[in-house]
Amino acid sequence: MAARYGSILLGAPGSGKGTQAKVLSKELGIPHISTGDILRAEVNSGSPLGNKVKEIMSSGKLVSDDLITEIVEKRFEQPDVKRGFILDGFPRTTAQAESLERILSNQNLGSPQVILLEVAREALIERLTGRLTCGKCGQAYHRKLNPPKSTGVCDVCGAALVERKDDSLETVVRRLDVYENETRPLIDYYAQKGRLKRLSGDQEMGQITGAIRKIFEG
Ligand code: AMP
């Protein structure tokens, strides 16, 4: 049976995919699959895979389609995806989208909904260059737009906040360029299949969550 809440959140870095995926994954009890989070965990653990991708990630470029597809394919072997999943940061290229079709079809998971979060480039740059994340629970903050109550400390769990290495201005600009060149073609790819829903990512967070849920409930 197709996974009822199978979905892909599409959008540029900083468009709010991760924030929305975290909330929805909790609300719906389905896994949030973030390839960026998976890779960052590998880097932090110092595994051979982590060492291999570390430089590529901090430069803002994409890791190879083969490598990332292998990671996603393994993740989809776990049974928790049967009821649904929220993909965040995958697919990022047309080759990855095609591999995903194959993975989902092999697992009989049907066709996911694709939701595009649209945010203007200037706003993305502002969001990304001030972004802070809790090193322990993953809660997201922003120095200016959504500061923690106490500087450098997570409101939720009290752990220290960290800035992602790839959120420096130079790397942010590269990541947005990579998105334009490699990932934007996916908008047409899914629109042509009649599977794309567009949402403004420039609304209050709760409003976006509500709009995505509405799409999920169909
Ligand atoms: P993210 O947290 O989604 O912004 O991903 C952080 C970094 O991880 C990206 O800039 C890439 O270097 C790498 N990465 C994450 N997902 C993918 C993907 N689907 N394809 C290639 N590289 C990826």
Report yes or no: 133 and 19 within 8 Å, Cβ to Cβ: no
How big is the chain by its Cα radius of gyration, in Å?
Answer: 17
Residue 60: CB within 6 Å of ligand 1? yes
Which pTM does this prediction carry? 0.94
The closest residue, in CA terms, to atom 15 on ligand 1 is: 36
Would you say how long the chain is, in residues? 218
Atom number of ligand 1 nearest to Cα 17: 3
| Res. 217: pLDDT tops 90 | no
- In this prediction, residue 55 carries a pLDDT of 96
CA dist 4 and 60 (Å) reads: 33
- In this prediction, residue 2 carries a pLDDT of 58
The residue with greater pLDDT, 4 or 175, is: 175
- In this prediction, residue 93 carries a pLDDT of 98
Report yes or no: 142 and 132 within 8 Å, Cβ to Cβ: yes
Q: Is 131 an annotated catalytic residue?
A: yes
| Res. 1: pLDDT tops 60 | no
pLDDT digits (tens, 9 = 90+) for 151-169: 999 999 999 999 988 999 9
CA of 64 to the centre of ligand 1 (A): 10
**CA distances to 28, 133, 144, 147, 160 from 157, in Å:** 22, 12, 20, 15, 9
The tokens for 137 are 């629970």
